[in-house]
């Protein structure tokens, strides 16, 4: 496990692709369980180890995550997420060429199908979604974009780009990407106020230069 930072209050790690953030119906090992096992062994803790899940990444998405090692840290970090002081930046490879911009939509999650779609704001249970992005590089008919996520909706990045004809590379759910290809979405940067220290923390974690990522200068 790639541990990027750890102190008495938080632990920042790289989540590998296709590992769940928390336990799901598959029964596969998840990040919460893996980190608890690491903490239990490292500090030789008896019984259950506390670890707070502050935010999530979709199973196929890899990248940087922070977990809280105390309930106090979990509460404060969760509040920073709600107050939008918790900043998340992603890298993605999308189909086509586009200009830098801002995407604003209302999204509706279909619980039964586990999908999300763009709808009118009058739709019951529709939620406002916003992100901004910068085009970093273009290669053939693909673009590498850096995304600042302002709201954290279900499948938000995937849906907002796909709805404009720029589905993420490898996204079989919202695009027509090649089968058995990893979706090109990576949690690249986190910035947040430390839950105890009066200090703004920022961490970065780049995707490995494999697959579609090796075509770009990251």
Any idea which residues carry the catalytic annotation? 58
Cβ–Cβ under 8 Å, residues 157 and 92: yes
Give the span between the Cα atoms of 154 and 20, in whole angstroms: 15
Count helices and strands in the chain by DSSP H and E runs: 3, 11
Tokens 């920042």 sit on residue: 12
Which residues are bridge partners to 127 per DSSP?
Answer: 107
Give the span between the Cα atoms of 164 and 159, in whole angstroms: 9
Cβ–Cβ under 8 Å, residues 184 and 168: yes
Distances from the Cα of 11 to the Cαs of 40, 48, 213, in angstroms? Answer: 14, 17, 26
∠ CA 14-83-21, rounded to 5°: 25
CA dihedral angle for residue 38, residue 43, residue 45, residue 51, rounded to 10 degrees: -50
Tokens 């990248």 sit on residue: 63
Tokens 């998840």 sit on residue: 30
The DSSP 8-state label assigned to residue 70 in this structure reads: S
């Amino acid at each position: 496990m790639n541990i990027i930072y750890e102190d008495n209050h938080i632990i920042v790690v790289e989540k590998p692709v296709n590992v769940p953030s928390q336990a799901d119906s598959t029964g596969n090992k998840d990040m919460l369980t893996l980190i608890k096992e690491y903490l239990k062994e490292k500090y030789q803790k008896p019984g259950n180890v506390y670890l707070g899940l502050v935010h999530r990444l979709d199973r196929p998405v890899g990248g940087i995550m922070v977990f809280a090692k105390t309930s106090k840290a979990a509460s404060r970090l969760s509040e920073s997420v709600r107050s939008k002081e918790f900043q998340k930046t992603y890298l993605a490879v999308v189909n086509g060429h586009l200009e830098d911009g801002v995407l604003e939509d209302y999204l509706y999650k279909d619980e039964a199908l586990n999908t999300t779609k763009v709808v009118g704001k009058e739709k019951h249970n529709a939620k406002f979604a916003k992100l901004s992005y910068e085009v970093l590089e273009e290669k053939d008919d693909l673009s590498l974009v850096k995304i600042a996520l302002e709201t954290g909706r279900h499948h938000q990045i995937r849906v907002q780009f796909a709805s404009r004809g720029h589905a993420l590379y490898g996204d079989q759910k919202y695009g027509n990407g090649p089968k058995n290809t990893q979706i090109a979405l990576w949690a690249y940067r986190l910035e947040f106020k430390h839950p105890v220290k009066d200090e703004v923390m920022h961490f970065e974690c780049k995707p490995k230069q494999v697959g579609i990522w090796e075509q770009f200068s990251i």
